[in-house]
Amino acid sequence: MPRLVLTEAQKQAIRQAQSPEAACHMVCDVADEAFFSGNPDEITGWIRDVLCVETFFGAMCDGGVDTWFDWDHGRLAHLVPDALRAVGLPEFAACADKALAVHFPPPYPATIQEWAEAIEKIRAAQRKNVFKSVYDAIEEEFFALYFTDKTYFRNKLHRYVLEHLED
């Protein structure tokens, strides 16, 4: 299976980005293209970690756990806890673990394709709207961490990107 890698021009643009957010989004733009137009399982390693972390935070801040599972990137949900730990955000990984455990116990499937059936079951279960109180507790924990310092996760993620850019 081919593996997604950045070009030298992309790496240089990331190094020269105006902000940590811009640099991280450049990685996500490349990963998103593969996610939506190719085989998402070709996105591996640190690039997949960045996509997982960015999409987790984006979904949680946009609508919480329900949104995280519902967005297209919910197909990555089973990979998010490990990605958060790899980046150095284990406190947020605990939130992701709790949300996943509501629906699906570990071990999780190894591939995005294998996870497809599980995420569809989670989405179907969410339509019954019986998880609100459980999700609310997870979101409360997430936002208590997030609002302590809104730049914390992005700065950690940016350092991770720069550390792995040549991998």
Per-domain boundaries in the chain: 8-164
CA distance 47 to 63: 24
State the pLDDT at residue 49.
97
Measure Cα distances from 21 to 24, 108, 148, 154, 157 in Å.
5, 29, 18, 7, 9
Residue type, 99: A
Q: Which residue has the tokens 């699906």?
A: 104
Strands in the chain per DSSP E: none
Among 101, 42, 46, which Cα is nearest to 77's? 101
Local confidence band at 142 (pLDDT 50, 70, 90 cut-offs): very high
Share of the chain above pLDDT 90, in %: 87
Q: May I ask the CATH architecture of the domain 8-164? A: Up-down Bundle (1.20)
Residue whose tokens read 């955000």: 89
pTM of the model: 0.95
Tell whether the torsion through CA atoms of 18, 8, 153 and 69 is positive or negative: positive
